[in-house]
Structure 1
């Protein structure tokens, strides 16, 4: 159940505060060891938060008793790093700052922030409402890691935002849904155009000049893991034309990567949102290619009505933009829909699923797939919460060493960016064992006991 929040007005902003931290229409954030509170900060009439506050209290009781505080502005482009994307990372940084409480400030999507002083001036009164009672800090320090980072707004409408941001040594272009501003829907690396690159929309970009996308690298860990399915039967993707169906095209980053490296591929991509596909063409460099077919349609209806030649691979990568709903949603993993997917695969075909959810939801997806596909293999992403499920239609067991060999063969021929680390992901692939129900376990135990008695 979602936590109830209350809107509290502070210095022209509306703060969405968990109900349990509100007392008599005021924010009441008492100090507690290891306390972690998330608060969103909206401008008047704002649709998305301009700031997000993560209030973290020290783990040490001695430090809590100090009743001191500081504010840390998270630089744009570093939000996905371990330090700022995990509680352990924030807690570790708090320990280094050596205060009782740190208010971590994340700068919102779709807004442009000039410098640290501008952010500090705008928030100097707001953050006072988040200090611990009887705070002993006389002058509240504002800190950051060097500077607040670089970001430019390329495009926005009522549903989506396209931004350029500098992350470490790289410039990235990101697509964000306003329904879930905490998640980047699509992303590519940017570089200056050479004689061969396709120019992207360059106006307002952080890179000064004719901008193009680097499609030798996939920035999303889940996409790098998904293309491992091509290494299960590499002879198929290397020696003959092969067909791929992608359900959930988004801005078409993954198909654009594959079109670059596989001349023998034919890709059909399906997405229900025409606006997102158009954003892919306009801002992400999706090519006009006779091997690439895009359908704006409901993925379930398209799959059920499909009557063409079977696909060698199907990628199921559907996220509806709601952080409270598993990926893919349940209607895309039930047995009825799974059966249609299987029918549209060749005998050597593989269904690859990008999954996000809790343990119970993931187990449910796996059991649904088990009914139709006899051999399942899973790969957990290292940094992201995603898990990739490979459903092999052919009744054969595949050792991860075979996949590793296939990856080496593909990388040697295709020459994509070796820093994607596909070999490491391949080594994480494990066969998914069938879950044994308690009643079945009892029956199996009895059978083993009977066999032992017979031997004796």
Structure 2
């Protein structure tokens, strides 16, 4: 290993290779693989009778082995006098027709169109790093000159991006066809193999330049070629295979319980994502039965966003309960068809051993695990694009509880459910159905949204927080409750407030008109005089209301997501918790009013900063973390900061526990206006039980 180049610059230095081969001595250096590994693809593109120019031959045995199997017209060139002398001496008697010449590959003495093939094993990689690729371009120009029409440049390479880009752009400009084979690594030799896969670049010369680039990728020596439109797409495919090679090397040699390594498997025909595999290892010292080395857990369709499968901690708990040394968690993708569990297992089986833990025998059986042996069920009912939020889809899924749900998902963050509602048989549907056998063609028409069921746990906490207003108590009977809610989503939270909280009026502010349309069309959102929607920027609406000074609210709720995924806070956007906005929210509240904030922040420093700013304006704060989620709901009172905020918070907490029973009683059975009674499914007392004083 110490003989390998230490830097990319050394890699293309003639002096380096002189030192390398003198130190290497008699032992052949099989850079990127020997004849046995390469023969399949070499025989595919180089005929036995072809005149072949071997560029940068080194002291590899490749030419000798090709000569022995019938290739008698090989011209080997190398810049190193040492290696040329050695190779000629080594083959003088056994292979008198095999010639080695000291020639600079950028300035060869050979006639135009005098060879049918040029073979390069690692030379392009060595030369491309010098002088910004000038040497490599010179070599490729010589290759193009000495090859005849129909001739092929066959290059064995590690496919560093700059190297492949240089070669592909060069030959595309000449109108040649370009094909790249990614060779399969040999199993069982992880300690000796490169982490990166070996590629074979095949560029074919045409009599007339091709009008449009021909770019193809093949997996293995015999893999079907996949046509790609642009050089950038070919480079992306190379990066994927390299990343996979590094991942396989890492997984077959080490274990790391905290790594959460993942990869996406795509359909070869379409390139569309089909499975995402996440690797979860047990921590060191865990007591795992010897037979429990490796297993694959298949996540039911529609459940991939659940905390247990989408979060690092959830996956750790899943792996601990499964009790395998390594668990690979496989999630299926939207817009893909999966017939049954057996078909999924058959698809994944060829990939399984690539991800096995170190030392596991290649012939060991790997079990597939699932929840009840069920693939789950998913039906996409709508798809569209929002100028503000990007591509979205609305889908019906079957939860692990057997119930059906409707979800809004923005595909820019497909692991996050934007909005979710439970589905129940519609009033017009009297036919009994087995939910496990719901057929997508008939399901949507016979289902309706249950407005009394809040799927999001943080929404339940936000509703329970209204107990601070004394809603439902005898002294507040008939007293109006006004709510300003920023963020509509599917409309589940505001509809619940309108349908079940007595004497409430709700104004919702929503920036995206597409979200409003989706809420109406797919989540049965029905605004009226008690539930109004203002389309526009939430910050601007807060500023306008504060300037107007003629409207106050008993509750201001922030449930608005952040579109910038680079920030460690996904709810709300940072501008909503700046001091100036928090001050305006404070002034918009009635004397009894509360500010309810859904905070989703993974950055501990940022979270602390937000909490400090909120506390500066709202000295009395109660908080509740949502189990199994990052969400934390803050209930903030506008009481004066007189140094007794902690005492005030404890008084508020005590009164909330008493008022919770009144609020629970107020959430009565109600009609949704169509003659159907809806029941509010919420336990206020339980939700308030875990509130903490901040």
Whether TM exceeds 0.5 here: the answer is yes
Q: 1:17 to 1:89 in 2, by over 3 A?
A: farther
Q: Which whole-Å deviations, capped at 9, do the CAs of 1:217-270 have from their partners, x for residues lacking one?
A: 211110011112210022587432222111111221100111111352221111
Does 2:254 correspond to 1:31? yes
Q: What is the CA–CA distance in structure 2 between the aligned matches of 1:162 and 1:250, rounded to whole Å?
A: 12
Does 2:507 correspond to 1:284? no
Q: 1:284 to 1:45 in 2, by over 3 A?
A: farther
Structure 2 partner of 1:226: 462
Higher RCO (CA 8 Å, separation ≥ 6 residues): 1
| SS at structure 1 position matched to 2:529 | coil
Structure 1 partner of 2:276: 52
Q: What are the within-5 Å matches in structure 2 for residues 41-440 of structure 1? A: 41-43=265-267, 49-60=273-284, 68-79=293-304, 83-85=308-310, 87=312, 90-91=315-316, 93-94=318-319, 99-132=324-357, 135-138=360-363, 139-145=365-371, 146-158=373-385, 159-167=391-399, 168-194=401-427, 204=440, 207=443, 210-235=446-471, 238-306=477-545, 307=548, 308-325=550-567, 326=569, 327-358=571-602, 359-395=604-640, 397=649, 398-415=651-668, 420-432=682-694
Moved over 6 A (4+): 6-21, 44-48, 64-67
Q: What is the CA–CA distance in structure 2 between the aligned matches of 1:93 and 1:342, rounded to whole Å?
A: 43
User: How far 1:16 moved relative to its partner?
Assistant: 8.7
Output the TM-score relative to the length of structure 1. 0.81
Q: Which whole-Å deviations, capped at 9, do the CAs of 1:350-405 have from their partners, x for residues lacking one?
A: 11100011332222112112222232221222232211111211345433231122
User: How far 1:19 moved relative to its partner?
Assistant: 9.0
User: How far 1:94 moved relative to its partner?
Assistant: 4.0
Structure 1 partner of 2:25: none
Output the TM-score relative to the length of structure 2. 0.55
CA radius of gyration, larger in: 2
| SS at structure 2 position matched to 1:36 | coil
> Retained in 2: the 8 A contact 1:111–1:153?
no
Question: More deviation in 116-125 or 323-332?
Answer: 116-125
> Retained in 2: the 8 A contact 1:249–1:277?
yes
Q: 1:297 to 1:291 in 2, by over 3 A?
A: same
Q: What are the within-5 Å matches in structure 2 for residues 10-29 of structure 1? A: 23=246, 28-29=250-251
User: How far 1:95 moved relative to its partner?
Assistant: 5.4
User: How far 1:181 moved relative to its partner?
Assistant: 0.9
> Retained in 2: the 8 A contact 1:109–1:181?
no
> Retained in 2: the 8 A contact 1:164–1:205?
no
Q: What is the CA–CA distance in structure 1 between the aligned matches of 2:633 and 2:322, rounded to whole Å?
A: 38
Q: 1:272 to 1:93 in 2, by over 3 A?
A: closer
Q: What is the CA–CA distance in structure 2 between the aligned matches of 1:189 and 1:238, rounded to whole Å?
A: 31
Q: 1:57 to 1:285 in 2, by over 3 A?
A: same
Q: Which whole-Å deviations, capped at 9, do the CAs of 1:77-98 have from their partners, x for residues lacking one?
A: 4446665355565445545656
> Retained in 1: the 8 A contact 2:380–2:395?
yes
Q: What is the CA–CA distance in structure 2 between the aligned matches of 1:316 and 1:347, rounded to whole Å?
A: 19
| SS at structure 2 position matched to 1:410 | helix
Question: More deviation in 108-117 or 378-387?
Answer: 108-117
User: How far 1:175 moved relative to its partner?
Assistant: 0.8
> Retained in 1: the 8 A contact 2:255–2:358?
no
> Retained in 1: the 8 A contact 2:305–2:417?
no
> Retained in 1: the 8 A contact 2:298–2:331?
yes
Question: More deviation in 162-171 or 207-216?
Answer: 207-216
Which runs of 5 or more residues in structure 1 are unaligned? 1-5, 433-456
Structure 2 partner of 1:450: none
| SS at structure 2 position matched to 1:224 | helix
Q: What is the CA–CA distance in structure 2 between the aligned matches of 1:108 and 1:393, rounded to whole Å?
A: 46
Structure 1 partner of 2:167: none
User: How far 1:15 moved relative to its partner?
Assistant: 10
Does 2:279 correspond to 1:40? no
Question: More deviation in 216-225 or 353-362?
Answer: 353-362
| SS at structure 2 position matched to 1:217 | coil
| SS at structure 2 position matched to 1:109 | coil
Q: What is the CA–CA distance in structure 2 between the aligned matches of 1:7 and 1:157, rounded to whole Å?
A: 39
Q: What is the CA–CA distance in structure 2 between the aligned matches of 1:400 and 1:124, rounded to whole Å?
A: 55
